[in-house]
Structure 1
Amino acid sequence: MRVTDIITKKRDGLELADSEIGHLIKAYTADTVPDYQMAAWLMAVYFQGLTDRETATLTMAMATSGEMVDLSQVTGIKVDKHSTGGVADTTTLILAPLVAAAGVPVAKMSGRGLGFTGGTIDKLEAIPGFRATLERAEFIANLQKHNIAITGQSATIAPADGKLYALRDVTATVESIPLIASSIMSKKIAAGADKIILDVKVGSGAFMKTKTAAITLAETMVRIGQLVGRETIALLTSMEQPLGTAIGNSLEVREAIEVLSGRGEPALREVCLTLGSHMLVLGGKALTPAAARQQLAALIDSQQALAKLGELIAAQGGDASIVYDCRKLPQARYHLAVTSDHQGFVDKIDAAQIGYAAMLLGAGREHKGQSIDLAAGVALTCRLGQPVGPNQPLATLYSNTELQLQPAAGIIKNAVRVATQPGEISPVIIGLVTSQGFQLA
């Protein structure tokens, strides 16, 4: 089977056989197909697309290119959640202990942040002593004992996806729905999930800028799940402003604790309760999302979900007392309040620019392997539609490098727009995609 024939066939818009896709991915993972040939195939896919069957075959070829995690010895239906990424998206830190407290096993393999999108592992490492790298046996043992375990993404999970993503990033083929969908789903399937829920972000601070594009991506991933035997649903949520008010690692841990304590940003709580309610239904712990939501709200009110977060932290070597005393989290040496120059209503909060400001302060990475400041970040004190007056705080900046405070403040000033009249605010929950299609929330 010649690789040039596979490239030519897709270039001409023909459907590839399972054996052709499998051969291509296996050979590329084994370094017997050069980057220039794979780049040509990716560009052919970018322009010609893939059928649902081809996309599912590509997904499984990447999933099986490395280690497949077996969670069968853990009792219960394992439901995994994936977010397409956003700013102040602290859902995993809230959702994982909340759902685990309700009896659904939560086995999470998470990554580090790159750019302005924060990584769950970075956030957890802001907790003193927390070990984010677990051996497979310890991961399974913790999951069995505590119903929850979170570890860093292993390089042996879907290695073909890692190679392909790096190549897509430098060949202008990232924005291909089949390639995005297969990349996300291959890692979820390889990580051992029985069922999958996806949080597809929509808006200026998300990868998918329009609802139409987000629905297409969500529907593609749901169909992949169907074709490979993993029930999958997708929630569409708004990223027209940061989801929470904290952007930065220790700041986001603090906000997660606030939400689990019954306080915190309402939009962040709403997304977590909505995602969690569907996870409980998928996991067989509730018959309807409404009933599941009542269970989850009760677990927050009773502090059981907060206690489960402490249990997770203690099980992985961290100081669980931080859930009751956030002063033990890393604290920045310098801070600066950014205030409004005008009177009016907050009309726009550019989530991507807020994220870039946090990265400039040290909270994010511009390249892999870069060290970060776990205490750095942005705490927003404004939300869309909120009235503000001159000199009223819009955000507080935190950093251990005083030099970056003023440049970051300039970014925040430009990112937050104040108008004379309040604008229309999109609902945070946009809709749901199931095997039956898209429905509005």
Structure 2
Amino acid sequence: MAQAAPRLTALAQEVLGAPLPVRLRAWDGSESGPPGTPVLVIRRRRALRRLLWKPGELGLARAWVAGDLDIQGDLYQALELMAGSLWERVADSARPTGLRALPAAVRDPRLRAAAREFAGLTAPWVPPAPPAEEARASTGPLHTLRRDRQAISHHYDVGNTFYERVLGPSMVYSCAYWEPGATLEEAQRAKLDLVCRKLGLGPGMRLLDVGCGWGSMVLHAAREYGVSAVGITLSEEQAGYARKRVAEAGLADRVEIRVQDYRELGDGPFDAISSIGMAEHVGSARYAEYAADLYALLRPGGRLLNHQIARRPLADEQHYRVNEFIDRYVFPDGELAPLGRTVGLLERAGFEVRDVEALREHYALTLRAWVANLETHWDEAVRLTSPGRARVWRLYMAASALSFERNRIGVNQVLAVRTPVSGKPGLPLRAREWRG
């Protein structure tokens, strides 16, 4: 088909309800759209077949991961320009726009016929197989022990060397704490130190790190603050890596790494608990249980530092839906909750919430640093995992950086205390003098 791009651009404008804000290049080499902008490249007609089969985020995600779609030019600029047209347009009661319009569009006989012509479809039609990197849709109740282990394995058990290239020497996979001019490693060390100070750690104390990752938090707390620490993870690869780091640091007598779920712990109490970037995996159905379990694991007067991504609240929470790209390719079964809901559930479990610190801008900076690391080591990242997996991580982290920058999501550190019956939590009178 000659000159596919202009016809596709016109069709996209009709379906999305707005002009395409980027230039489009089709598989036949034709181009259309505003010059001087990033180029959305449709490498294969199969991209359109994916959108016809799964009209919306999932079809778009499959086309991206498979390499049927690509961006030439500044990825951040392209996502910024397309966000308003594709993801952030408010659905009109009379006519939805953006990606929300696709399901209705593919049911329209005229538009469906035009799309099928572009896609080169003839009956009988076999839909394209999903990319190999897609997690299988799980069945059964959410957040059982078995299902959570499978979800964690999908995200984290992709090779420690891959994560080394993305995260850098700190091996911390959560928001850093930035000062002007800091390196990623310095900012991650500052975050770990901030957590330790908020928890009031000191020699002889016992720390539990829930979702310990590759062991960075327990290592920092044991080395710099003299605590004994237990780190738990559901990832076998993370646990093996963390144990090796602990042994090399000469801290095996004070740091234990376990492959264990927080619901399986029975050897409390702990003086302090850190949960850094783990609670997003808990899910709304289990969050009250999570909060109650951590409360029970703390001694009276013990502190919890819960570091968690939050989404903006909806007018009707029943309409919350997990992003299909994130659910199938990044964090299966992951859920984000508004900050108010998290604080409320912690309080309902018995905690006294003493401080909330928002770090939204810090996470945007962290994600941009991770994307830069991935792009620097791109060929090796592809070799270590797969082209599709590397594409998943690049899009996920770049899009997430913009989501933090645009205040679509945030991240907060909530300091909570299991306040003793005396009502004296042992905290300093002045806020954020954490060493009291």
Q: Is the TM value for this pair above 0.5? A: no
In the superposition, the TM-score normalised over structure 2's length comes to 0.29
In the superposition, the TM-score normalised over structure 1's length comes to 0.29
